[in-house]
Structure 1
Amino acid sequence: MGSAPSCDSPYSMPGTLSMDSGIQRRREMHPTFEALLHSNDPPSDSESTSIREQLATCRSHLAVLENAIQGLSGLKEESQLEELKRQRDELTARINTHRGLLSPLRALPEDILREIFILSLPSNHNFTISPTHTPIVLAHVCRRWREVVFTVWSSIHIPLPASPSLVSLVELWLTRTRSLPLSLSFSSVKPKYGPTIPHLSRWFAILQPFSHRLNGISFTLSGNGDQISNFMEKQYWQIGFNPVQQVPKVAIHIDVFDPYNRQHFANILPSLGIHQNSRLRELRLSMNFHMLTLPDCFDRAVPWRNITTLNLQTRNFHRSIPNIIRNGVLLRILFRCFNIIHLHTFAGGALRVFNNNEAIPDNITNAKLRHATLFF
């Protein structure tokens, strides 16, 4: 057995065992086992048979050592007793190490291992890079598992602000996941309602080389109205990348510091670039201001015609002054959502849209709609 003590050394007399010369002989006789210990490869059938035979011999030898130790216990041969204990501990460690060569996990096909890892990942939230979370735990088991983990770990949550070490780890994750479609979410900053724009600007620049792989993104835009609209408008012109314009799954939470300015829907919503995203399939948009009318750029087929999941919400800073999405706005959107399957929204108020005199059809049919949660 590779690097294991020799298990065929004769037991010459009670309490006297010598195995050091056997260790070197075993290393020379079985270099394959030593190589296996430093890889994730399964042993061949002949190697497995040899390992089992040698493990059986070693366990017998271990029993002899245990008996010899028991025979010397209570006597004054302390040095000899300590040497036997050292040899017993070394042999036990090597037996345990080489038992791992016979583990069924070594022979588990990669596709089955990948499916097991996928089942261990949650489907309702993204992981943070934490030593207690499943992907990191699995990646630390061995090199083979680490390689497989990076073929299935496609989502990550990034708290803001991010430390330099976390930025480096995420960049490593982006590289190691190779061609895997990616989903990222960003938290709001602390203290609560702090501006997110400086942090998002840096992250969007980091993600730009991987834009073709992005499948989903979720983030919070917090700041005053002009800061938010200017930031989103400049994303494409400054770095050539605005994820909202090209990612199939988008979730945006908008928290403006002056929520009762009625110009927000006219300035902020067009700046997002949603109306330019022909790949959009899932949209989750929440804001802390009224949506009383539909911006001209939203009153088109794109992006609505391809959307299958739509979640439109308003959130209140002050419960005494509720914010709403006007019913007329919602109906105009639904009129263009030919492929919608899931709908979750809060709406109220008039059916008429103030800046549009186009008549609303008497009937709006969404033939593919399967689930709707409506609050009025």
Structure 2
Amino acid sequence: MQSNTDSSAISGTISRLQSHVVMREASNPNHVNYRYWQLVQEMAKIMQSIGPPKGSSSPIGRLPTEILAQIFLYCIPEDANWTPVPDLAPMQLTAVCRRWREIAVNMPNLWRRLRLEMGHGDWQQRAFCYNSYLKRSRGRQLSLTLECDNNNWTELRSLLQPYVDQISSLHVGLFSGASSFPLVAADFGGLEELAIYTDSFGPAPALEHIWDSITHLPPNMRSLRLLDVWLEFHVLTRLNPPSWAGLTNLEILVVGLVSLPCLLRLCPNLSSLTMIGVFMVAIETSGQLEHTKLQSLRLSGNLPVNTVLFGLLGLFDDVTLPNLRLVEVSDIGRWAHKEFKALITRSQCPLESLIFGGGVTTTAQQLAEYVTLFPSLKLVLDPTRSLFLE
């Protein structure tokens, strides 16, 4: 704290923060946080006004803790969880000086998001690091990403056991070395979001275990994203778990016969549905279903533009969606215009956005009809857009 080394380290960190702001502004001016820039500039001015350390006094000692704490928070990425790395925040912040370390270690919000990698290097060493990281969250909600290349589930369960009720967001990546999935979503009492993805499309040994694990979801679960995980629709209809009733967001990849009313009955509180895959419409015999919560519907197939797809024909016949606001479709061939127009007419919905991506065939007359029905409609035609690529 008394050496020029500390002062150089602090000044260097501030310079990196300033450079980071400039880079963010250059790449996307609309996403620069003005308060972040303000705080960094304020810190730099204080440092300049204090000047070099004299005797036992250090410039860092006169910086307000509140400013440091706010800047520490803005050092953390907002769009992803991360693996602990010494030269990146928040680990980097603990190495500048003693006071910075004390502030950072005692800020639980800095330690709420973490990526855990299984199958790389010395697990015991990494587990110790992960556990230290998690302890610093001090009971706050956690967002975790698990990337698994092996089946060392016993060690992972042992590590996570003290924190299962803190975990609100869990992303699980199953790669080639992971042939099982013994984690059960219901074991995570505070879980609100679960995403599962693999390293390739198509069947994988772990998929049966995945479906076994999500039959029962915790009561707070709101978002379920099954990315790169193919689902035969009849498996979902056979599960029919009551715990799915709380879902508000569902993203699935399906194959085979699909019934939209069946899916909406399973999730009566769903506000956003993304359904991707190669599917045909199953005949629905239960009568018309009104689903009042669905606002966003995104559909995608995997077919060339000139294909006449009968899969969407009939998909909209047995549902009424009075709150539908956004529809996006891609890679489904010829658009089921007649059926969709009938849906939005009988639903009397406040449709705001209609997006046609690549692989969809429409006509100018069809598009004009939508604009007539909804004069303020945001109509997007983007042949480069595909849900399969997102």
| Class of the TM-score when normalised by the shorter of the 2 chains | 0.5 to 0.7
Q: Could you tell me how far 1:333 is from its partner in structure 2?
A: 2.0
Q: Could you tell me how far 1:285 is from its partner in structure 2?
A: 0.5
2:127 is the alignment partner of 1:167: yes
Q: Secondary structure at the match of 1:134?
A: coil
Provide the residue aligned with 1:154 in structure 2: 112
Provide the residue aligned with 2:145 in structure 1: 185
CA distance change for structure 1 residues 363 and 292 in 2, over 3 Å: closer, same or farther? closer
Query: For the Cα contact (< 8 Å) 1:216–1:250, is it kept in 2?
Result: yes
Query: For the Cα contact (< 8 Å) 2:116–2:144, is it kept in 1?
Result: yes
Hey, what's the Cα distance between the residues in 2 that align with 1:330 and 1:133? 46
Query: For the Cα contact (< 8 Å) 1:220–1:253, is it kept in 2?
Result: yes
Provide the residue aligned with 2:216 in structure 1: 275
Hey, what's the Cα distance between the residues in 2 that align with 1:297 and 1:245? 25
Hey, what's the Cα distance between the residues in 2 that align with 1:128 and 1:260? 26
In terms of fraction of residues, the more strand-rich structure is 2
Q: Could you tell me how far 1:145 is from its partner in structure 2?
A: 2.4
CA distance change for structure 1 residues 219 and 102 in 2, over 3 Å: closer, same or farther? closer
Provide the residue aligned with 1:202 in structure 2: 155
Q: Secondary structure at the match of 1:159?
A: strand
Hey, what's the Cα distance between the residues in 2 that align with 1:294 and 1:204? 28
Provide the residue aligned with 1:310 in structure 2: 250
Query: For the Cα contact (< 8 Å) 2:165–2:189, is it kept in 1?
Result: no
2:87 is the alignment partner of 1:132: yes
Structure having the higher Rg: 1
Query: For the Cα contact (< 8 Å) 2:112–2:137, is it kept in 1?
Result: yes
Query: For the Cα contact (< 8 Å) 1:135–1:149, is it kept in 2?
Result: no
Hey, what's the Cα distance between the residues in 1 that align with 2:111 and 2:204? 41
Provide the residue aligned with 2:136 in structure 1: 176
Query: For the Cα contact (< 8 Å) 2:186–2:217, is it kept in 1?
Result: no
The C-alpha deviation readout for 1:158-216, integer Å capped at 9, x for no partner, is 22224222110101112221111111102242xxxxxx3x1344212321121111111
RMSD (CA atoms): 4.0
* 1:228-247 aligned within 5 A: 228=180, 231-232=181-182, 243=187, 247=191
The C-alpha deviation readout for 1:6-37, integer Å capped at 9, x for no partner, is xxxxxxxxxxxxxxxxxxxxxxxxxxxxxxxx
Hey, what's the Cα distance between the residues in 2 that align with 1:246 and 1:176? 18
Query: For the Cα contact (< 8 Å) 2:116–2:145, is it kept in 1?
Result: yes
* TM-score, length of structure 2 as denominator length: 0.53
Hey, what's the Cα distance between the residues in 1 that align with 2:256 and 2:112? 37
Hey, what's the Cα distance between the residues in 2 that align with 1:325 and 1:370? 26
Query: For the Cα contact (< 8 Å) 1:346–1:374, is it kept in 2?
Result: no
State the AA in 2 paired with 1:259.
P
State the AA in 2 paired with 1:337.
C
CA distance change for structure 1 residues 292 and 132 in 2, over 3 Å: closer, same or farther? same
Q: Could you tell me how far 1:116 is from its partner in structure 2?
A: 3.2
Hey, what's the Cα distance between the residues in 2 that align with 1:114 and 1:346? 43
Provide the residue aligned with 1:84 in structure 2: none
In terms of fraction of residues, the more helix-rich structure is 1
Query: For the Cα contact (< 8 Å) 1:216–1:248, is it kept in 2?
Result: yes
Q: Could you tell me how far 1:351 is from its partner in structure 2?
A: 1.5
Hey, what's the Cα distance between the residues in 1 that align with 2:84 and 2:229? 30
Query: For the Cα contact (< 8 Å) 1:344–1:374, is it kept in 2?
Result: no
Hey, what's the Cα distance between the residues in 2 that align with 1:98 and 1:260? 61
Hey, what's the Cα distance between the residues in 1 that align with 2:189 and 2:239? 13
Hey, what's the Cα distance between the residues in 2 that align with 1:125 and 1:251? 13
* 1:1-376 aligned within 5 A: 95=54, 98-100=57-59, 103=62, 105=63, 107-109=64-66, 113-141=68-96, 142-162=100-120, 163=122, 164-189=124-149, 196=150, 198-221=151-174, 228=180, 231-232=181-182, 243=187, 247-254=191-198, 259=203, 267-296=208-237, 298-303=239-244, 305-313=245-253, 324-326=254-256, 328-329=258-259, 331-352=261-282, 358=286, 361=289, 362-365=317-320, 373-375=328-330, 376=332
Hey, what's the Cα distance between the residues in 2 that align with 1:299 and 1:143? 50
Q: Could you tell me how far 1:366 is from its partner in structure 2?
A: 5.2
Hey, what's the Cα distance between the residues in 1 that align with 2:321 and 2:250? 13
Query: For the Cα contact (< 8 Å) 2:166–2:190, is it kept in 1?
Result: no
Query: For the Cα contact (< 8 Å) 1:286–1:312, is it kept in 2?
Result: yes
CA distance change for structure 1 residues 329 and 153 in 2, over 3 Å: closer, same or farther? farther
Query: For the Cα contact (< 8 Å) 2:223–2:248, is it kept in 1?
Result: yes
Q: Which has the higher contact order (CA 8 A, sep 6+)?
A: 1
Provide the residue aligned with 2:379 in structure 1: none
Q: Secondary structure at the match of 2:54?
A: helix
Q: Secondary structure at the match of 2:262?
A: helix
Hey, what's the Cα distance between the residues in 2 that align with 1:132 and 1:248? 31
State the AA in 2 paired with 1:214.
I
Hey, what's the Cα distance between the residues in 2 that align with 1:123 and 1:280? 22
Q: Could you tell me how far 1:150 is from its partner in structure 2?
A: 3.4
Q: Secondary structure at the match of 1:302?
A: helix
The C-alpha deviation readout for 1:303-332, integer Å capped at 9, x for no partner, is 1x322222213xxxxxxxxxx434625552
CA distance change for structure 1 residues 367 and 130 in 2, over 3 Å: closer, same or farther? farther
Query: For the Cα contact (< 8 Å) 1:337–1:366, is it kept in 2?
Result: no
CA distance change for structure 1 residues 372 and 298 in 2, over 3 Å: closer, same or farther? farther
How high is the sequence identity, in percent, across the aligned residues? 19
State the AA in 1 paired with 2:319.
I
CA distance change for structure 1 residues 243 and 250 in 2, over 3 Å: closer, same or farther? farther
Q: Secondary structure at the match of 1:129?
A: coil
Q: Could you tell me how far 1:98 is from its partner in structure 2?
A: 1.8
Query: For the Cα contact (< 8 Å) 1:344–1:372, is it kept in 2?
Result: no
CA distance change for structure 1 residues 166 and 332 in 2, over 3 Å: closer, same or farther? same
